[in-house]
Structure 1
């Protein structure tokens, strides 16, 4: 029994880190913005590892073999789509114009196996509650719909409102779950004593009392205590 537990633990560790490495090698498209091919390949890869781990007749070397071979196949397909543009429609799919000049394109909906209820749901995900608001709508290869609103109801930009350009700064995370983020301090060229002094000045005893804290140039601190 102890030997079985040890073997399973070892296989779980190897399978976990093998999948982690493979995900890093294959890129973020295996976990976000999945195309149908990415989705299927990720499912199969996980299934291969799961079966290899829990099947007593399959050893540890089969786990690694399955991950490496399937990963190489996926990597090869990704290289083909990057190098050969003509292969992308076949392997990744193409976006579809499902709303054009305010009119729903029925043929495109039918082609993409999308009904009207599903389309309205996808539009609501984008904050659009009526088709009359949309000038163009595109069904992306990952199943999301992106819309271009009609001009009278589109959001105004700073340029439209004649607001002078202002510099834009990224916020820097300084504290998370009561722990000081050293990388954030490095970005600001500050040290822990500066952060602790700033917290004390704001009436906060220390970092352990802070759930979340960030700093943004021109805005200062955004702090949420526990």
Structure 2
């Protein structure tokens, strides 16, 4: 039983260490992961794994190693921000795989990318045929950004000379029956107004609302608990 408590304690400490380090390093560990970030994530996971499964490794040593690794990664991230010449080595660089509608075979070969993998990446970018792409760029995180050819491009409001309208961000006002007062203040909506809007939809209490969303010049969107079920 004592061993189980030790494992639990080490897991909790490991989770706390990883959380702090990833907070300090920023969100690139998740959204724009580079090969170097991938190595970093593997090393951090391995350090915590050793704390759990290797009885010869003490938690103090794991904390020291994790913090040291986090500091090293932090300074490397700092270097890539300050020294532009280091970014190509540490973060990689985007590569154009389709240029003016023509496939760049040498770039595919350089990046160890076959045609099936390229087709899969193009589909994830809503491009379902190679012939629809005017340009395709392989980003440092392994994803592909696509600029479609003119016949396949999406028409924009500016192309049709539509009169511009104010663009507003939807604001969540209620979640699980709880009013989010900070969001209410941000949206400039008073609680009395919120209650009135709910009554217009035959809802008497905020506790009966699973989700409510506000958007400028739009009726209050309400999802009661009945609809959720």
TM range (shorter): over 0.9
**Separation of aligned partners in 2, 1:71 and 1:221:** 45
Q: Could you report, residue by residue, the CA deviation over 1:55-92 in whole angstroms, capped at 9, with x for unpaired residues?
A: 22222212211210110111111011111111111110
**TM-score, normalization by structure 1:** 0.92
**Separation of aligned partners in 1, 2:31 and 2:206:** 33
Is residue 32 from structure 1 mapped to residue 31 from structure 2 by the alignment? yes
Task: Please identify, of 188-197 and 16-25, the stretch whose mean Cα deviation from structure 2 is larger.
Answer: 188-197
| Aligned twin of 2:147 | 148
- CA drift of 1:192 comes to 4.3
State the superposition RMSD in angstroms.
1.7
Query: 2:97, 2:104 within 8 Å by CA — same for their partners in 1?
Result: yes
| Aligned twin of 2:156 | 157
**Separation of aligned partners in 2, 1:205 and 1:64:** 53
Identify if the C-alpha distance between structure 1 residues 191 and 46 changes in structure 2 by more than 3 Å, giving closer, same or farther: farther
SS at match of 1:204: coil
Query: 1:53, 1:63 within 8 Å by CA — same for their partners in 2?
Result: no
| Aligned twin of 1:53 | 52
Q: Could you report, residue by residue, the CA deviation over 1:150-207 in whole angstroms, capped at 9, with x for unpaired residues?
A: 1222111111111111111111111223332222112134454543332222112433
What 5-or-longer segments of structure 1 have no aligned partner?
none
Task: Please identify, of 145-154 and 135-144, the stretch whose mean Cα deviation from structure 2 is larger.
Answer: 145-154
- CA drift of 1:149 comes to 0.8
Structure 2 counterparts to residues 1-226 of structure 1, below 5 A: 1=1, 3-225=2-224, 226=228
**TM-score, normalization by structure 2:** 0.91
**Separation of aligned partners in 1, 2:198 and 2:19:** 37
SS at match of 1:99: strand
SS at match of 1:166: coil
What 5-or-longer segments of structure 2 have no aligned partner?
none
**Separation of aligned partners in 1, 2:111 and 2:77:** 23
